[in-house]
Amino acid sequence: MRIFLLCIVSVLSLLAGCAQTSSSEDTKEFILAHNQPTNHPIHESLVDFQRLLDEKSDGKLKLRIYANGQLGSEREVIEMTQTNAVQFTKVSASALESFSEAYSLFSMPYLFDSKEQFRDVMKMPEIQDAFYNKTEDNGFIGITYYDAGVRNMYTKDRILETNEDMHGLKTRVQPSKTSVQMIEALGGTPTPMGFGEVYTTLQSGLLDAAENNESALTDNKHGEVAKHYFYTEHAIVPDILIMNVEAYNQLSDEEQQWVREAAAESTALHEPRWDERMLESRQIAEEEMGVTFHKIDKSNFMEAVRPLQESFKENEATKEQYDLIMGAKEENDEQD
C-alpha cells in the first residue's frame, strides 16, 4: 500500500513539477495534503485558501487538495513537503516538533491561558516570524496557522476528577516528545501514534483515552468509542500550513504575496467557522453519540505539569520563541 502511495506521489510530483515549469499555460499547480475528512472545518478553510489563491492570481496558481490522509500520516507528508513531492501540507504544530524543536513549545501544557489570548498572540508578525522562517534548512517554511481548538482529555469509560485518576491510563498522544512528557507528568501511560490509527486502536481496547478538540469525537468518530470528555484544557496547539521552501522561492514576489494573502485571509475566515463547528460537534456528540461532557477542576492537572513548563525556561532550542510568546502574552493582557 505504502509503495503504491509513493508511486502515486512520484507521478503527482512529476506532474506538479511539469505544471510548475510549463510556460505555455502560465499556470502552476501545487499539491496540498492533510489528514482530515472533507466535512471537517479545517478542510473547508483549506478550500477557502485554494479559492482565494485562484482568485488573486487570476487562475495562475492552482491547488490540488488531497484530504483524509490519502498521501500518508502527518509525519509522512511533512517528509514529502521537505522533498517537494508535495508543496503544501497542513499539520499540527506537535507533528513539526521532531523536525524543528522550536515547535515543541506549542505542545507545552497551559502555554496559553485562553483561546482569545492564543488567537491574539498567533496573529502577531514577530511571533509568526520566530517560527515560520526558522525552518528553511529543514526544507519548508510556515505560511499561516489555523485554530485547531483547545485540547481536552477523553476516555472510553474512566471518570477523571484529578490527574491521579489518569494512573495507568493508556493515552494516545501525538508523536511529540513534549506530549509524551505531559501525559507522563499527569500520571498516565502515553502512547504516541498517528491520528489515523486512533479510532481503531481505541476500539480494539489497546487505548483507554486520547486528547483532542471536540470535532475528534464527531468528524473522526472517536465519540463512538470514547464516552467521557473532560475540559482539562491542557493545550492549545495550532495547525500550521507549511510550504516547500524551493517551491516558494521559485515564485515571483507577486505570487508569494498572493500565497501569503490568500493564506492569511483563509485563517481569518476559519475562526468563526471553527467556533460554530465545535459547538455543533459537542451537541452531536452529546445527543447522538451519548458522550458526557464533564467540567473538571484543572488545578491539580496544572500543578502536575509545572516542572515540564519550567523546563522550557531553560531550553535553548525554544528560548527565543518562549520569551517572545511570554512577552506577547503580557502585552496582550495589558491591552485587554
Binding mask 32-71 for ligand GCU (x = CB under 6 A): ---x------------------------------------
Q: Which residue is nearest to ligand GCU, using beta carbons?
A: 195
| The three cell numbers locating residue 290 | 451519548
DSSP 67-110: -TTTT--HHHHHHHHHTTSSSEEEEEHHHHTTT-GGGGGGGSTT
* Binding residue (CB under 6 A) for ligand GCU from 148, 241, 251, 305: 148
- Toward ligand GCU, which CB reaches closer, 48 or 74? 74
- Toward ligand GCU, which CB reaches closer, 171 or 174? 174
Nearest Cα neighbor of 239 from 78, 86, 117 is 78
Nearest Cα neighbor of 217 from 149, 289, 169 is 289
Q: Does 74 bind ligand GCU (CB under 6 A)?
A: yes
CB of 267 to ligand GCU, least distance (A): 14
232 membership: H or E segment, kind and range: strand 228-236
- Toward ligand GCU, which CB reaches closer, 94 or 318? 94
Q: Does 229 bind ligand GCU (CB under 6 A)?
A: no
Question: What is d(CA 31, CA 16) in angstroms, rounded to the nearest whole number?
Answer: 7
CB of 207 to ligand GCU, least distance (A): 13
* Binding residue (CB under 6 A) for ligand GCU from 195, 248, 258, 312: 195
Q: Does 212 bind ligand GCU (CB under 6 A)?
A: yes
* Binding residue (CB under 6 A) for ligand GCU from 31, 65, 91, 166: 91
* Binding residue (CB under 6 A) for ligand GCU from 45, 82, 84, 92: 92
DSSP 188-212: -EEEE--GGGHHHHHHHTS-SEEEE
| The three cell numbers locating residue 283 | 451537541
CB of 175 to ligand GCU, least distance (A): 8
Q: How many CA atoms lie within 13 A of 167 on its CB side?
A: 4
Three-state DSSP at 262 gives helix
- Toward ligand GCU, which CB reaches closer, 57 or 191? 191
Q: Does 232 bind ligand GCU (CB under 6 A)?
A: no
Spatial CB neighbours of 37, under 8 Å, sequence gap ≥ 6? 43, 67, 68, 219, 220
Interstrand relation of 189-192 and 170-173 (parallel, antiparallel or unpaired): parallel
- Toward ligand GCU, which CB reaches closer, 139 or 192? 192
- Toward ligand GCU, which CB reaches closer, 251 or 305? 305
- Toward ligand GCU, which CB reaches closer, 28 or 151? 151
- Toward ligand GCU, which CB reaches closer, 82 or 215? 215
Please state, in angstroms and as integers, the Cα–Cα distance from residue 189 to each residue in 98, 172, 182, 277, 302, following that order. Answer: 20, 8, 10, 31, 18
CB of 56 to ligand GCU, least distance (A): 26
Residues making contact with ligand GCU (CB under 6 A) = 35, 74, 91-92, 148, 174, 195, 212, 216, 239
